[in-house]
Chains A and B, each alone.
Chain A
Amino acid sequence: MHFLKGLVVSLLPFAALAAKKPAADKFQQFHTKALSSTPLKLDDTIYGQLTSAPRDYSVAVLLTALESRFGCQLCREFQPEWDLVSKSWTKGDKKGESRLIYGTLDFSEGKMTFQSLGLQTAPVLLLFRPTHGPHASADTAPLRYDFTSGAPPAEQIHGWIARHLPDGPHPEVHRPINWMRIIAVTTTLLGTVTFISVAWPYLLPIIQNRNLWAAISLISILLFTSGHMFNHIRKVPYVAGDGKGGVSYFAGGFSNQFGLETQIVAAMYGLLSFATISLALKVPRISDPKTQQVAVLIWGGVIFVMYSFLLSVFRIKNGGYPFWLPPFS
């Protein structure tokens, strides 16, 4: 009996080694796979294996839904950045010193996982830190990255991962040089230069045309003063429903607007300006008294009605505004 006990005790280290070996292997196994194609395409079973509890390596998994029927815009926008992070990391760390595996689990292949994690939204980026080994962290629950403001660039993800794996190397993100784009830009540039040099005699009168420049200036002024930059920066909706099946053209609230609304306002300003210009420049140049009289009445009427409408629109935006002109009160 004592002998047997001694035997067992002396064998224990080997058993421990034997038990430890597969875990080490697991990383090597996945890492070699990752070297050929990263991030690894996962399904429910591989995901289970990869993230199962005793692990001495880290895993970063992106849970996503790329298929078009899910309509996940963010997933598709983020995917190339994610591929870039994982590719440049794996490339920069061929020996696997950072002990980090990248994986992607699509909803179509990992329904069970999505269910078991109780995920309602995608994409979700999880970082599993090692449970034992030299870099083990006390907190076994995976870290979750917040997609708060659109698809983050690869560098941001890299920074987040590097922050949570303080030890080990952090291979930088290398953006591949986009040859196609450089070639396209050069070709377009050369083409434009050629075109301009050939067509210069025809282009010159157009460039020097005062009417063209006047039109460009006025249009840009109208765009800017009707709040186009606000639309551009805040990405406001073009129109919105009014909740009764109709369309509401004007957003409620003083510092709020719709895309269509600004276009209506720009059109109103444009019409008012045009009427003013006509009254100031064109009408005094009409040589026929009758026509002139009619023109004055028309343009004057246009200004009056339009301005009244503008005031009434402004009253929608600013409830307490007290001024108005007749037709639209």
Chain B
Amino acid sequence: MADSGSITESFFKGSSGRNTRGLLRLTILSLIAAAAISSRLFSVIRFESIIHEFDPWFNFRATKYLVQHGFYDFWDWFDDRTWHPLGRVTGGTLYPGLMVTSGAIYHALRALTIPVDIRNICVLLAPGFSGLTAYATYLFTNEMSTSPSAGLLAAAFMGIAPGYISRSVAGSYDNEAIAIFLLVFTFFLWIKALKLGSAFWGALCALFYGYMVSAWGGYVFITNLIPLHVFVLVCMGRFSPRVYVSYCTWYALGTLASMQIPFVGFLPIRSSEHMSALGVFGLLQLVGFVEFVRAGVPSKQFATLLRGFVLVVFAIAFGGLVLLTVSGVIAPWTGRFYSLWDTGYAKIHIPIIASVSEHQPTAWPAFFFDLNMLIWLFPAGVYLCFQKLADEQVFVVVYAILASYFSGVMVRLMLTLTPIVCVSAALALSSLLDTYLTIKSPTEPTDSSADAVNGTTASSKKAEKAAKQDGLRSLSKPLVGIYTTFSKTSVVSALTAYLLIFVLHCTWVTSNAYSSPSVVLASRMPDGSQHIIDDYREAYQWLRQNTPENAKIMSWWDYGYQIGGMADRPTLVDNNTWNNTHIATVGKAMSSREEVSYPIMRQHEVDYVLVVFGGLLGYSGDDINKFLWMVRIAEGIWPDEVKERDFFTDRGEYRVDEGATETMKNSLMYKMSYYNYGALFPPGQAQDRVRGVRMPEKGPELNTVEEAFTSENWIIRIYKVKDLDNVGRDHASASSFAKGNKKKKTTKRRGPKVLRVE
């Protein structure tokens, strides 16, 4: 007995104890990484190793190009198969970090003679990086807290929090897949640099910042958060050489690194989003100068003079900034960024930004769905940061407030909030666990000692008072500990239950909400078995095999990347949305009468038109539901020809059945969606299962396009644009003739016959 006791003692104490703990920590971290990766594999297991959704298809296509043609060709890539007839300078308009990362992994594995398909690397990149993110979160949290459990808890939370899983399941090959790791790791390096005042860590931070810039447009979040942190520190009177060294190193090197990306180029010194970083850089020089002089010259008047000097310089700099902005040297706010502050802006000025579902504001259930109990541990953790409030805790507070504002404005930015929520919640929970999980209990105070506590000496009271003024109110009394085992067990068991619910919740959310590739849909048969709906790939495969390689496909921009990636056909518009007018052109073609649309399609050499229709299956993400956005975007460019009002009935309803407006019924989109739809049902029984209405008995007629392909569940319908008529008739009369209707006589109608009497 004593033997075993000494053995365990030797394991947990001294240098070998440290090694044991290190080993344990390593094991736990690897397990967390494994859990993070495996919980993201639902979609691969259920469906197959497939790229998801829309944007990843472009990234996949670009990666394939990179692997095939090499880096320099990729860098100069001009893609003439998108945005027909404009084309896109792809190499200069994308963030190459993601593709280069997977390309590097691919070549590394090849060098190790491991034959692996580039698709599998792309599919599994996001889960792999999520393991790294968990580790980065562990490092970051360890900088915040002395408690060894906080980092591990944070890593575990980060590994399975649905807020992060939503963008990093296997197959979701998007910029965010690696960007969140880079975000957290850059922040860790920043804190490290700030704590040590080290140029080395600052340079490392800049390096990873550069990597982040190459990977995701969200780097602007770092560009603004770090200066804000420094600004708050300066305002709190915490300027120190550490701050100066770390910030200046980061800013100088980081800006240079970010300017190497062609897409970013000179933005860091010209656009307003980056001005705060530049401003704080200037401010630090001034403050540093003043501090330097103050240290040398101990005269009070001189200090006052300096303060005035600082103010003047600041005013001049601000005036210069305004002047440059007005004169146009510095670019104005870009729309997407501007819409974060003025929340009504996007709706009025840039419908294309407002139309994207991930740019919508976040309702509270989304927060709870993505973070579960972390969301209420989060404020508690932030409060704990006020306990010590060193430089790094200020960072947590600033990050927490800024990120919660942004995530409230845009659903998509939930992603930047998740790391800090995990860290704060882990801080709160670890402080709870550390308090309630110790076996040692304080001795119960006897009466005399209680008296002693009550009758504290004047000096200790004074110290208490000082603590009260400076610190938090809840910390004013000395720490005692928890007395009874009952309190400990009750609190700890309740916490365990909550944690178990959290794990169940995360698994449930991941499996139910975030693991659908959205290219392949799954439904349940009446007997409970799974039924796969594979219309998208069916249709894209049809395009690939039945159309000439240069057939131009017109569709709404959502499907541009998929058509490019899966069907390998040129498209008019895609998810890059850089040219609003071009998108509006497609919107106009879709929302106008055939007579108007046909010339547009001819001018753009459109061969096929693709629409998504969910009416048969009850698939609600179809084009008729997105139709109003097409109308709105087209109306932004041609307000006289396309009017949103015309698509609503007099009572302001958006209808597709008998009561739909004439404009609606005559629009190309409506006709293509419902063409021949009634033939599936007994006469008069046709029903649209998305909108839940009965369709009119007589379906629409199409003259200028003809049905080419309709997928199994009617989700995708492809129409071929007819060529000009051989004998020069317009299409309406040609098809009318083909149906056997007689040409109407053009002779003038004579008046009623009258008997001539003369």
The residues of A with any CB-CB pair to B shorter than 8 Å are: 146, 148-149, 163, 210-211, 213-214, 217-218, 220-222, 224-230, 232-234, 254-257, 261-262, 265, 268-270, 272-274, 276-289, 292-293, 296-297, 300, 303-304, 307, 310, 314, 317-318, 320, 322-323, 325
Contact = CB atoms under 8 A, between A and B. Distances in A.
Contacts of A280: 380, 384, 428, 431-432, 435
A226 B364 contact: yes
A268 B368 CA distance: 12
B236 to A, nearest CB: 9
Contacts of B347: 149
B477 interface: yes
B377 interface: yes
Contacts of B479: 284-285
29 contacts: A149-B348, A163-B639, A211-B473, A214-B472, A217-B382, A224-B405, A226-B367, A227-B361, A227-B362, A227-B364, A227-B366, A229-B409, A233-B344, A254-B363, A255-B365, A270-B379, A273-B377, A273-B379, A273-B380, A277-B384, A279-B435, A279-B491, A280-B380, A284-B435, A285-B475, A285-B477, A292-B484, A318-B365, A325-B501
B362 A221 contact: no
B584 interface: no
Contacts of A233: 343-344, 361, 409
Contact of A292 (B407, B408, B482): B482
B508 A273 contact: no
B450 interface: yes
B378 A225 contact: yes
Contact of A279 (B367, B368, B379, B432): B432
Nearest to A282: B474
Contacts of B455: none
A214 B386 contact: yes
Nearest to B432: A280
Nearest to A268: B376
Contacts, number: 199
Nearest to A317: B365
A204 to B, nearest CB: 11
The dominant DSSP class at the A interface is helix
Given A277-B383, A283-B482, A293-B486, A227 B401 contact: no
Contacts of A213: 386
Interface stretch (B166-174, B309-317, B522-530, B640-648): B640-648
B386 A300 contact: no
A281 B361 contact: no
Contacts of B377: 273, 276
Contacts of B494: 300, 303-304
Contacts of B450: 287-288
A280 B383 CA distance: 11
Contacts of B504: 323
A239 to B, nearest CB: 15
A278 to B, nearest CB: 8
Contacts of B477: 285-287
Contacts of B405: 220, 224, 229
B384 A229 contact: no
Contacts of B644: 146, 148
A323 B408 contact: no
A282 B384 CA distance: 12
Nearest to A269: B376
Interface in B658-674: none
Chain B interface residue bracket vs A: 35 or more
B343 A232 contact: yes
Nearest to B648: A148
Given A146-B643, A307-B498, A225 B375 contact: yes
Select the residue from A214, A220, A269, A286 with max chain B CB neighbours within 10 A. A214
Contacts of A297: 487, 490
B470 interface: yes
B362 A296 contact: no
Contacts of A210: 386, 389, 470-472
A6 to B, nearest CB: 35
Given A255-B365, A279-B491, A218 B478 contact: no
B483 A292 contact: yes
Contacts of B445: 287-289
B654 interface: no
Nearest to A235: B344
B257 interface: no
A136 B383 CA distance: 71
Nearest to A145: B645
B404 interface: yes
A314 B372 CA distance: 10
A148 B432 CA distance: 54
Contacts of B376: 268-269, 272-273, 276, 307, 310
A257 B364 contact: yes
A263 B196 CA distance: 43
B242 to A, nearest CB: 22
B478 A217 contact: no
Nearest to B397: A217
B629 to A, nearest CB: 15
Contact of B481 (A281, A284, A307, A314): A284
Interface string B456-483: 0000000000000011111101111111
Nearest to A292: B483
B49 to A, nearest CB: 28
B365 A257 contact: yes
A186 to B, nearest CB: 18
B487 A285 contact: no
A262 B67 CA distance: 49
A254 B380 contact: no
B51 interface: no
A221 B364 CA distance: 12
Top 5 nearest A-B pairs by Cβ distance? A229-B408, A227-B364, A272-B376, A224-B404, A296-B487
Nearest to B375: A225
Could you say which of B384, B408, B445 has the most chain A C-beta atoms within 10 Å of its C-beta? B408
Contacts of B343: 229, 232-233
Nearest to B650: A120
B444 interface: yes
A222 B364 contact: no
B38 to A, nearest CB: 21
A312 to B, nearest CB: 12
B400 to A, nearest CB: 6
B400 A229 contact: no
Given A284-B480, A317-B365, A269 B379 contact: yes
Contacts of A222: 379
Contacts of A317: 365
Interface string B343-365: 11001100000000000111111
A261 B363 CA distance: 11
A224 B474 contact: no
B383 A273 contact: yes
B100 interface: no
B432 A276 contact: yes
B114 interface: no
A214 B383 CA distance: 6
Given A233-B343, A281-B474, A281-B475, A221 B432 contact: no
Contacts of B408: 224-225, 227-230
Contacts of B369: 254, 314, 318
Contacts of A277: 380, 383-384, 428, 474
B2 interface: no
Contacts of A163: 639-640
Interface in B610-647: 639-640, 643-645
Contact of B375 (A148, A230, A269, A279): A269
Contacts of A320: 512
A221 B382 contact: yes
Nearest to A306: B376
B453 interface: yes
A287 B453 contact: yes
Contact of A217 (B362, B364, B400): B400
Contacts of A273: 376-380, 383
